[in-house]
């Protein structure tokens, strides 16, 4: 018989999310302490309105870039086209406008009266710039797709249970990955000042891409049987990416290493996907992921090429890689990833050993591509790579 519930054992209900009095008081206090600055603006404007006069200072073009009209190119009007207009395309090496004033606007006269957004900490161009970022942004916009409508969901065939479970487990893993792939650019997007607007725009597309990937894999799992197991091995890897102390380090971990691995998985989509629907999902995600990897490689290349002490920069990269490779190894030895992929590659649970051989091949391709990417970014990892070129789990070796 159940013990009677005693009133003193009952836990208080979870607190609903409510704005706490201290939080509100802190916010009010902060604005009151800045009151002098903005009350002056308010006072001047009110006074002018009382006098019944207009300011019209905004029609004065001194110190601005007025009158030079941007011309579209064959693709339309891109950031590259407007950046050609003198006064708008100079991307500063150091951003010192920590507010929302647009690059190229008449903003200097107001500098001292502007608020400061303390969260804008990525103020060095070479912590995030990549020469392909504008092109990738254009491509990202042109290739957006809709996980609700563009996947032929009504054609999804039921698979034998082993293949269905393997597919759904892989989708569960990918869902976990896609969350961090979205949270990472989100974390840095809001820390990036407006002067790097091209990068901010690109990161926003990456966010949208990752939201759609999370969506499509979640839908695929639930349409095929259900989500299966979450996995600690991935979780540590994903947290390491999110916790990276700089944008460059995180870009190495996410874009070059993590997404590089995901790209290899998607590229094997023809062999892993067991239905046309799955093939279509992998094909579409592959295109998106290729952009993210491409940004990462050129961002790191730019970082090293402009580093004031290149040798130190390269050494930093190796330190990132020492952590990152172990993180990837932790993820890629997880049975909740390795085994379903092997089942899919082999064509069924009975052929899991054969699938492991295929996986061994995939692993080698992945490491080779990873090492090539490091080289393309400007640091040679060939002799320092800490993960084995052959299967790290040694079953089929
Ligand atoms: Fe993704
Ligand atoms: Fe991605």
The per-residue pLDDT for 168 is 98
Instruction: Tell me the average pLDDT across 316-323.
Output: 92
Q: What is the pLDDT of residues 74-98, one digit of tens each?
A: 999 999 999 999 999 999 999 999 9
Ligand nearest, relative to CA of residue 260: 2
pLDDT band for position 393 (cuts 50, 70, 90) = low
Q: Is 76 left (phi over 0), alpha (psi -120 to 50) or beta?
A: left
Instruction: Find the 319 Cα to ligand 1 centroid distance in Å.
Output: 25
- Which one is predicted more confidently, 86 or 14? 86
Instruction: Tell me the average pLDDT across 130-159.
Output: 97
Q: What is the pLDDT of residues 99-123, one digit of tens each?
A: 999 999 999 999 998 999 999 999 9
Q: Which residue has the tokens 């991307």?
A: 91
Tokens of 63: 């110190």
Instruction: Tell me the average pLDDT across 259-281.
Output: 91
pLDDT band for position 264 (cuts 50, 70, 90) = confident
Instruction: Find the 213 Cα to ligand 1 centroid distance in Å.
Output: 5
CA separation, residue 392 to residues 10, 255, 326, 397 (Å): 50, 22, 11, 9
Ligand nearest, relative to CA of residue 211: 1
Rounded distance between C-alpha atoms, residue 223 and residue 210, angstroms: 20
Instruction: Find the 256 Cα to ligand 2 centroid distance in Å.
Output: 10
Asked whether the predicted pLDDT for residue 214 surpasses 50, the reply is: yes
Ligand nearest, relative to CA of residue 136: 2
pLDDT band for position 1 (cuts 50, 70, 90) = low
**Of 7-11, 229-233, 267-271, which gets the smallest average pLDDT?**
7-11
Ligand nearest, relative to CA of residue 179: 1
Instruction: Find the 343 Cα to ligand 2 centroid distance in Å.
Output: 25
Query: In the chain, pLDDT over 70 holds for what percent of residues?
Result: 97
Among residues 287, 266, 170, 267, the alpha carbon closest in space to that of 218 is found at 170
Asked whether the predicted pLDDT for residue 396 surpasses 60, the reply is: no
Q: What is the pLDDT of residues 354-371, one digit of tens each?
A: 999 999 988 898 899 999
Instruction: Find the 284 Cα to ligand 1 centroid distance in Å.
Output: 10
Q: What is the pLDDT of residues 184-206, one digit of tens each?
A: 999 999 999 999 999 999 999 99
Cβ–Cβ contacts within 10 Å for residue 341, how many? 23
Instruction: Find the 259 Cα to ligand 2 centroid distance in Å.
Output: 6
CA separation, residue 236 to residues 116, 174, 387 (Å): 35, 15, 17
Asked whether the predicted pLDDT for residue 7 surpasses 80, the reply is: no
The per-residue pLDDT for 397 is 39
Ligand nearest, relative to CA of residue 174: 1
């Amino acid at each position: 018989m159940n013990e009677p519930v005693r009133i003193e054992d009952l836990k208080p209900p979870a607190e609903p999310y409510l704005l706490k009095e201290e939080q509100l008081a802190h916010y009010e206090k902060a604005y009151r302490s800045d009151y002098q600055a903005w009350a002056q603006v308010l006072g001047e404007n009110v006074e002018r309105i009382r006098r019944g006069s207009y300011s019209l200072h905004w029609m004065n073009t001194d110190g601005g870039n007025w009158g030079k009209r941007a011309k579209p190119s064959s693709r339309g009007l891109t950031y590259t086209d407007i950046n050609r207009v003198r006064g708008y395309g100079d991307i500063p090496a150091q951003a010192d406008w920590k507010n929302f004033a647009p690059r190229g606007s008449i903003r200097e006269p107001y500098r001292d009266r502007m608020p400061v957004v303390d969260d804008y900490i990525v103020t060095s161009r070479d912590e995030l710039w990549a020469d392909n970022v504008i092109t990738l942004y254009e491509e990202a916009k042109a290739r957006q797709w809709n996980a609700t409508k563009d996947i032929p969901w009504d054609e999804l065939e039921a698979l034998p249970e082993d293949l269905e479970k393997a597919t759904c487990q892989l989708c569960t893993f990918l869902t976990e990955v896609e969350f961090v792939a979205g949270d990472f650019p989100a974390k840095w997007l809001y820390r990036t000042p407006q002067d790097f607007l091209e990068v901010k725009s690109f990161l926003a597309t990456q966010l949208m891409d990752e939201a759609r990937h999370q969506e499509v894999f979640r839908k695929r799992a639930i349409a095929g049987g259900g989500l299966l197991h979450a996995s600690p091995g991935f979780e540590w890897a994903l947290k390491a990416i999110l916790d990276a102390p700089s944008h460059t380090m995180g870009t190495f971990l996410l874009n070059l290493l993590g997404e590089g691995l995901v790209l290899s998985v998607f590229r094997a989509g023809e062999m892993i996907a067991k239905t046309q629907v799955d093939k279509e999902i992998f094909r579409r995600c592959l295109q998106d992921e290729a952009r993210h990897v491409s940004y990462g490689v050129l961002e790191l290349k730019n970082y090293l090429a402009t580093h004031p002490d290149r040798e130190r920069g390269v050494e930093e990269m190796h330190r990132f890689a020492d952590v990152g490779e172990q993180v990837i190894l932790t993820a890629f030895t997880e049975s909740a990833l390795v085994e379903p992929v092997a089942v899919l590659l082999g064509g069924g649970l009975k052929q899991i050993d054969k699938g492991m051989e295929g996986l061994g091949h995939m692993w080698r391709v992945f490491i080779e591509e990873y090492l090539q990417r490091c080289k393309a970014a400007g640091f040679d990892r060939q002799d320092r790579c800490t993960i084995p070129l052959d299967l790290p789990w040694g079953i089929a070796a």
